Chain A
Amino acid sequence: MSVPEEHRGSLWNVLTNVGVAIGGAIGLNALLRTLRGQPEATPLLKPPLAGPAEHTPREEIVEAVVAERQHSYLDDGYTVRSWLLSTDHKRIAILYMLTITLFFFIGGIAATIIRLQLVTPQGGLVQTATYNRMFTIHGIIMVWFFLIPAVPAVLGNFLLPLMIGARDLAFPKINLLSWYLFVFGGLFTTAAVIGGGVDTGWTMYAPYSSLYSNSQVLAAAAGIFITGFSTIATGVNFIVTTHTMRAPGLTWFRLPLFVWTIYATALIMVLATPVLAITLLLIFAERVLGIGVFNPAQGGDPLLFQHLFWFYSHPAVYIMILPGMGIVSEIIPCFARKKLFSYTTVAIATFGIAGIGFLVWGHHMFVAGESMYASLLFSILSFLVAIPSAIKVFNWTATLYKGSIRFQTPMLYALGFIGLFTVGGLTGLMLASLAVDVSLHDTYFVIAHFHFIMVGGMVMAYLGGIHYWWPKISGRMYPELWGKLAALTIFIGFVLTFLPQFVLGHLGMPRRYFHYPPEFQALNILSTAGASILGVGYILPLFYLLWSLRHGEKAPANPWNATGLEWQTASPPPKHNFDATPIVTEGPYNYQPEESERDNRSSEESERDVSATPGR
């Protein structure tokens, strides 16, 4: 009896309950409960259970445990309903986490098929049409249903109110609505790209997508359109929350950088996403009514589509990478035990990237017939983005200097991020050079470049953040050895997958092609081998993080001895985050390297008595 009691409030329950609800298989839940030795009597769709504690002989002890555990947000109801209708930002973050993990693996399967196809020059695994559908699935799912929501909707949702000392986001119901929009749009698009198939690539260039493509473009675009509103709702919520709900004393320049980046990301979300929405509407109209806003045969201009599309999609790249930079800015000072080097410039550089990011979209159209003068301007502006990005990289590196560095899993991801992001950023400058781009445009060089940013940067940062805040989210520690192993596997797998693609692109292998000349085979095999290692690296955390929900060590309130308000409340936090509104008296990242030894000792001490002190 004691085992299920102990795990009552754990994420394990969440996963069984919510997973089962979404799958609609209540019997499976019963099976899982039976496997865990818990009586079937536990209600799944009834009001929150009062707890079997009342029936046990050791009533008072268990009651005390329950009272303490009730404090956590995970204990605020165990029913499916209490999750699916919850307006608690922390629960919605978990819902997002489960959803985007599912999408990540759908996109991953498509990538696996692409890589397997490219093992031989002739292909042969799938047909040409299927291959086009595979890279479209991979692109659409990964961009809109994993990368864009990953950090903002999961970690941003969970952490933003905690980091600013608020009880919740400003509009909790809109937050829940945005998850439903996301799931609805996601299912719509997934059904379209898997069931029907879409062969336009994720960019959906007109007039191919609007007139010629004989596939489910409408349904896929409809899903993306709906999901756009989810993004906008999240963005509005984050902006308003950051403005109006900060704890007393938490001035703008005392905010953790994760909040700065989430805020900048939210600005991009609300300003860029509506343009995508209207572009998709125009595509609908072209397909359904036969009008030709983007069709040259009807007096339209296909380049206008590209302008509108990239006006959204280039800033969207910064939606993906900026929050990752925020995570790295949290992890590096904590594991170097040193104040972040020049906090203010990193904060301002965040806005520099977000702002200039809106002015560079034309660099996607250097060879598409854009005016030469426009190209010149866009090229120069693209080079300018490198300045704030480099400021960040230098500041992180300078933070490490003379720090007291601990190589725990989050730190491994953060260091991986710095290296891979730098490579991705510098190759971006090559692509932003007008003459070089003519040769490299639409080759694997471009693929490798943005995967270094998206996967090497953003996914590494996301995983680093998941590990860093896992104790706070789940109340359990992840197994450190496995964490390090997975981080290294992912790093090695990633580099092996995408470094050869730079060479392939330089040699002239075009992206999205089904066949290739035999002399490219060796590099393609290397890339596929790397992808297999990468796949193993991604599956590992799935297992050991799930394992840790039941068997992981219980996490203290502040396992890393980190600064920041989120570490001042219990792990996992109570429903309203703080027992009393915290008051902030100093800036972030007040770490002292020389004190790190003492810090380590005190964190061990606090580990012992943390279960009794949930609050500050």
Chain B
Amino acid sequence: MTSAPRLVGEQFDDLEQQQEACSLGMWVFLCTEILLFGGLFLSYAVYRHAYPQAFHDASHDAEYWIGTSNTAVLLISSLWMALSVHCARTGRRKLLLLFLALTLIFGLAFLGLKGLEYYLDYKKNEVPGINLPVTDAFSRQKEMFWTLYFFMTGLHAFHLTIGCGLVALILILAWRTGYNAKHYAPVEVTGLYWHFIDIVWVFLYPLIYLPGRH
């Protein structure tokens, strides 16, 4: 089943060292991602603290049912991803292919729903800089919510798009060569990235959809 010519890079002593390095590399990279999103979370905190009423009102207009469905879709996709990693580790190729495909489908479903949500936002004149009407100071403050909404969800969707690309790549590789207990680092590393995207959404969801719902 393992037919790749050389699995261990020439800088490594063995597969184990390589696996450890890849995994640690992804963890460190995810730290940088946290800081990347951190700048936006900080901005959100500052402006929500400054304009609580505007954030409450603007959040009320957000498409909460799409946001909630998307939360469910993404959380389930993370389950498929976790199962994929498990199957890669135990060498169950067919199940691995199935679960990776499910992960990909759920990821794409999220992006589809997100696209629909953006379309509805556009229809309701909520896109700052394009059609959001700004008349007074209060609408300026609401504009800040929408700016941050598009920035944060947009950056998240961009990451998810990359995640879908990675899963597709892993799917092709798994179909061609398969992974086993010794060599499954690519699946694990992609899984880490996928879960990270999921976790970011877990924080985004309450910040965007819930302030206006209590």
Question: Measuring CB to CB, which residues of chain A are less than 8 angstroms from any residue of chain B?
Answer: 161, 166-172, 232, 235-237, 239-241, 243-245, 270-275, 277-279, 281-282, 285, 289-293, 298-301, 304, 307-308, 576, 581
> Which of A245, A273, A299 interacts with B21 by CB under 8 Å?
A245
Known: A236-B25, A285-B151. A270 touches B36 (CB 8 A): no
Is B143 interfacial (CB-CB < 8 Å)?
A: yes
Interface of B is mostly: helix
Q: Which chain A positions have C-beta within 8 A of B63?
A: none
Nearest-CB residue, chain B, relative to A304: B46
Q: How far is the CA of A304 from the CA of B44 in the complex (A)?
A: 11
Q: Which chain B positions have C-beta within 8 A of A298?
A: 134, 140, 143-144
Q: Which chain B positions have C-beta within 8 A of A232?
A: 29, 32
Contact at B28–A279, with CB atoms within 8 Å?
no
Q: Which chain B positions have C-beta within 8 A of A289?
A: 128-130
Contact at B11–A273, with CB atoms within 8 Å?
no
Q: Which chain A positions have C-beta within 8 A of B128?
A: 289, 291
Q: Which chain A positions have C-beta within 8 A of B38?
A: 274-275, 278
Which of chain B's residues 28-77 have a Cβ closer than 8 Å to chain A? 28-29, 31-33, 35-40, 42-43, 46-47, 50-51
Q: Which chain B positions have C-beta within 8 A of A169?
A: 11
Contact at A240–B43, with CB atoms within 8 Å?
no
Is B162 interfacial (CB-CB < 8 Å)?
A: no
Q: Which chain B positions have C-beta within 8 A of A274?
A: 32-33, 35-36, 38-39
Contact at B32–A290, with CB atoms within 8 Å?
no
Contact at B143–A299, with CB atoms within 8 Å?
yes
What are the interface flags for B121-160 relative to A under an 8 Å C-beta threshold, 1 for contact and 0 otherwise? 0000000111000100100110110011001000100000
Is B17 interfacial (CB-CB < 8 Å)?
A: yes
Nearest-CB residue, chain A, relative to B147: A291
Nearest-CB residue, chain B, relative to A239: B28
Q: Which chain A positions have C-beta within 8 A of B141?
A: 299
Name 21 interchain pairs, CB-CB below 8 A, sorted by A: A166-B11, A170-B11, A232-B32, A235-B32, A236-B32, A239-B24, A244-B17, A245-B17, A270-B32, A270-B35, A278-B36, A289-B129, A290-B129, A291-B128, A291-B147, A292-B140, A298-B134, A304-B43, A308-B39, A308-B43, A581-B13
Contact at A278–B39, with CB atoms within 8 Å?
yes
Nearest-CB residue, chain A, relative to B46: A304
Q: Name, among A290, A298, A308, A581, the residue most crowded by chain B CB atoms within 10 Å (CB to CB).
A: A298
> Which of B29, B35, B51 interacts with A275 by CB under 8 Å?
B35
Contact at B11–A271, with CB atoms within 8 Å?
no
Contact at A278–B40, with CB atoms within 8 Å?
yes
Instruction: List 4 additional A-B contacts (Cβ < 8 Å) besides A241-B21, A270-B29, A299-B143.
Output: A172-B11, A232-B32, A275-B35, A581-B13
Q: Which chain B positions have C-beta within 8 A of A239?
A: 24, 28
Q: How far is the CA of A144 from the CA of B32 in the complex (A)?
A: 18
Contact at B143–A170, with CB atoms within 8 Å?
no
Q: Name, among A278, A282, A304, the residue most crowded by chain B CB atoms within 10 Å (CB to CB).
A: A278
Q: Which chain A positions have C-beta within 8 A of B12?
A: 170, 245
Q: Which chain B positions have C-beta within 8 A of A272?
A: 35
Known: A274-B35, A291-B128, A299-B143. A240 touches B11 (CB 8 A): no
The 4 closest A-B pairs by CB, nearest first: A278-B39, A289-B129, A274-B36, A168-B11
Q: How far is the CA of A290 from the CA of B21 in the complex (A)?
A: 43
Nearest-CB residue, chain A, relative to B34: A274
Q: How far is the CA of A271 from the CA of B28 in the complex (A)?
A: 9
Nearest-CB residue, chain B, relative to A243: B24
Q: Which chain A positions have C-beta within 8 A of B42?
A: 304, 307-308
